[in-house]
Amino acid sequence: MTQDLETILRKSLDETDRNFKTFIAIWILMAIADVAGLLCVHSLGPATDIRTVLFYSVAVLLVSQGVYFILTCAYVTVMIRKTLKAIELSSRE
């Protein structure tokens, strides 16, 4: 690798590392939303049918897992795109 390509790639990877903190913050907020959703299901009351509570619990967890999956795919896609764009720009020069 030439020195310029190495520098550009290093800058791109550093930016990816900085964006990782935002990604972790979003994951923590989603975890808090999961707990809040499950607490809401728990607060339905003791008179609620167990099937209803189970249905709502599974629904909360399935939706949250879907959102986690989409967030992870979006993060990986954006970071790969940034790295590849940096490599492409450096190869043009």
End-to-end CA distance of the chain: 14
Sorted by where each begins, the domain ranges of the chain are 3-92
Q: Do 27 and 71 form a contact (C-beta atoms < 8 A)?
A: yes
- Per-residue pLDDT of 40-75, as tens digits, reads 888 877 778 888 888 988 999 899 999 999 988 988
- Residue 8: count other Cβ atoms within 10 Å of its Cβ: 21
pTM over 0.85, yes/no: no
Long-range contacts made by residues 41-50, C-beta under 8 angstroms, separation at least 24? none
- Per-residue pLDDT of 83-92, as tens digits, reads 787 777 777 7
Ramachandran assignment for 45, one of left (phi > 0), alpha (psi -120 to 50 degrees), beta (any other): left
